[in-house]
Amino acid sequence: MKTIGRGDTGALTETVQLALYRAGFLSGPPDGFFGPRTEDALLRFQNAFGLPPTGMADEATREKLFRFVKGYFIKTVQPGDTFWGLAVRYGAPVSSLLAANPDLDPLTLQPGQKLTVPLGYQVTPDNVSYCAELVGLVIDGLRARYPFTEVSSIGRSVLGTEIPLLRAGEGKNALLISAGIHANEWLNIPVTLTFLEDWLQAVITGREIAGEDAAALYRNTKVYFLPMLNPDGLDLVTGALKGGAAFDRAVRIAQNYPAVPFPEGWKANVEGVDLNLQFPAGWEKARDIKFAQGFDSPAPRDYVGDAPLTAPEARALYEFTNAYPPKMILAYHSQGNIIYWKYQDYLPPQSFSVGEILSEASGYPLEPTPEDSSYAGYKDWFIAQYNRPGYTVETGSGTNPLPVKQFDEIYRTNAPLIAAAMRECAEL
């Protein structure tokens, strides 16, 4: 585990700053630069928690610090403790304490019992750059707060990082929501995780989510969330991966494509394979198109690989989908504020009518996928394989990676879209 200290930049530095801010030791939002302000805050944190005052976020410091990213801690019940008293002390609603501790009776707490205490803020941050470690911390926090949510993995990336899967809901029909398949389109990671958190919070409090009955959605639909399909590429883009053999190889790959800025222009996995050009749906046609465009070797983007499904991340998504075929998919990407709904001449039942509903819910226009990009993508393969509705949702506009200042608008637009997709999926 890399020690983070003076002069460091990037997503891991932002994660340290986020934790210090939430813990009350850093004023102002994370800025991604570990300078005197961050060092002073970290020294004060270390002194307060009995840690050696090094001013650096080593493993021991991060273990205590990152509980404020996860947003919960485990407390041993003391004589006189009650759910209501703990809720007041830690700023956590009683409903959150009840949800996080389903096996404890709030009326008969016993000294010595272990209690999960959610802290009084939302786990999923919307003001920092993401990296694989931050995604893992957020998921840990969500699992602790909502233990009725299943957390697992569909496989591992090139560098061995787990590709996380979260499952919520009890319905028969499943909706699969994927994000982060392209490294520099990472802003959709917090969009999807924030929706999951808002939905689960609405379930335990009996509220609505984007105008829908949250509990009814939970009863009627099962949702698979795959928020981070390309963890290595994500870390490369946001600065969590800055050295080592994999980084050096990525630098050499990027040097062959000088027109693509590095690392911010990187879409592929860490080996230079574009994961959304890896699926057996016109892969040969995609190869011909991309080779003609000059992407005929490992590249920051648009290289199809030596054959379909050679990248472990694409293979994991393919195998999971075949093992647990959903009724509908939403594949999240960035650029255009648009929904693409077709693959070639396939017309799955209800795909157009559901697409119109998603369009109305979000305000995004519904369009057929452009001819020159409708090959070898995950949505393309899913439609061809299962003849079921599949949609590529393109969020935001500008240059990838989209700035975090676009998060609020993207989320406001897409929360109703996802909620509508859940409702419609239940009826397929």
Three-state DSSP state, 337: coil
Closest listed residue to residue 365, CA positions, set 332, 341, 329:
341
> Which position among 21, 303, 375, 378 bears the catalytic label?
375
Catalytic status, residue 394: yes
**Cα 288 off chain centre by:** 32
Total residue count of the chain as it appears in this document: 428
Q: Can you read off the two tokens belonging to residue 361?
A: 């819910």
Annotated catalytic residue 257 = no
Q: How are strands ordered across the β-sheet holding 328-334?
A: 150-156, 162-168, 221-226, 173-178, 328-334, 390-395, 338-340, 366-367
Token pair recorded at residue 20: 């210090």
Answer for the pair 266, 237: CB distance below 8 angstroms, yes or no.
yes
Q: Distance between CA 191 and CA 212 in Å, rounded?
A: 18
Token match 């998919």: residue? Answer: 329
Q: Which residue's structure tokens are 């050295």?
A: 243
Which residues have C-beta within 8 Å of that of residue 326, sequence separation ≥ 6?
A: 173, 174, 175, 176, 224, 388, 425
- Angle (CA) 293 294 300, round 5°: 105
**DSSP characters over 26-67:** --S---SB--HHHHHHHHHHHHHTT----SSB-HHHHHHHTH
* Locus of tokens 């982060």: 180
Question: Do residues 161 and 132 make contact, with C-beta atoms less than 8 angstroms apart?
Answer: yes
Query: What's the CA gap between 116 and 142, in Å, rounded?
Result: 12
Q: Cα–Cα distance between 36 and 384 in angstroms, integer?
A: 55
Q: Which residue among 133, 271, 313, 394 is the active-site one? A: 394
Contact status, residue 90 vs residue 119, Cβ threshold 8 Å? yes
Q: Which residues have a catalytic role annotated?
A: 375, 394
